[in-house]
Chain A
Amino acid sequence: MDAAAHDTHDAHDEPHLTPYSVYVGIWLALIALTGVTVLASVVDMKHQAIFVALFVATAKSTLVVLYFMHIAFENRVFWWFLLSAIATFVIFVLLTFADYAYR
């Protein structure tokens, strides 16, 4: 915990300044990925389509969380925070489907 706090000591005193251009770059990537997911839906892939859509949506979310929501520059404790929340949700999904698929 001490080490983690030390890690981002500077970030606490003076906020990490992300250049404007980085945000614009992330935005362009998000728009491009939206294009990819729309194009992919036109291609007839039957049941794989949903997985492609989810994969692209996950990639977009990762960009938003890391850069727009600053997780990439926050204190490491936010990583563990976020990971435990996602892990909890994944457990909900897995348990629900384990039950659902075999009833």
Chain B
Amino acid sequence: MSDATATPAELHGHEDHGHEDHEAHYGVPGYDPTASKMGMWLFLFTELLLFGTLFIVFAAYFYKFPTYFMEASSSLNIPVGGFNTVVLLTSSLTMALAIAALQRGNVKLSVKMLNATIGFAVLFCIVKAFEWGGKFEHGIWPGSDHVSAMEFGQQVFYSLYFVMTGFHALHVIIGAGLILWVKKRTLNGTISQERLVLMENIGLYWHLVDLVWIFLFPLYYLIS
């Protein structure tokens, strides 16, 4: 459906019926975007606790071993981390624009913006993979001989670095997959101007991924 608008009539009789129980037309009881978003926010709060707890662990050890943390932090490449920050911030912009475009019924622009968001997600992961690869080449991974020989404070820094950026990268990969799914549903019309809460919810997830990185970047790269 390359058409700019999807009318409720076009949605009708779609094979994807019953995918969710509340699949009903906009304005009809059963389609409740506010309730859907509330459910999504509840899920995001569990994510806040997941990453928040790890940030507390980071803070506690940073308080205990400030010098070792700063030393280890200086081994991270600020331009590379900064570049990835810009990539993720831009992907958040394209995600927000995808929703804004669909709100105006512009399916073409919306899909373009979703493609851009997926592209930035892939770019982020490639950069991250090279970063990790560089660390591996220097013998740095949790439990490696090189790291085991370091001071305890530095060992903790690298363990937390790999766990937290690893969890974050996992979220980026899952998010990219979800956006791909949203794109498919936008193209076949099950997500449309009248019913776009699924895209909004996946957008919320994507912005959360961005939020986590907004804290990860300064705490790991910039404390040296």
Contacts and interface: CB of A to CB of B under 8 A. Distances in A.
Interface string B24-58: 00000000011001100100010011001100100
A38 B82 contact: yes
Nearest to B206: A68
B174 interface: no
B188 interface: no
A75 B33 CA distance: 11
Contacts of B211: 61, 64-65
Contacts, number: 110
Given A68-B95, A81-B38, 15 more contacts: A24-B93, A30-B92, A37-B218, A38-B78, A61-B215, A64-B211, A65-B211, A67-B96, A68-B92, A68-B210, A70-B200, A75-B34, A78-B37, A85-B45, A96-B56
Interface of B: 33-34, 37-38, 41, 45, 48-49, 52-53, 56, 59-60, 62-63, 66, 78, 82, 85-86, 89-90, 92-93, 95-97, 100, 103-104, 196, 200, 203-204, 207, 210-211, 214-215, 217-219, 221-224
Interface of A: 12, 15, 17-18, 20, 23-24, 26-27, 30-31, 34, 37-38, 40-41, 47, 49-50, 53-54, 56-57, 60-61, 64-65, 67-70, 74-75, 77-78, 81-82, 85-86, 89, 92-93, 96-97, 100
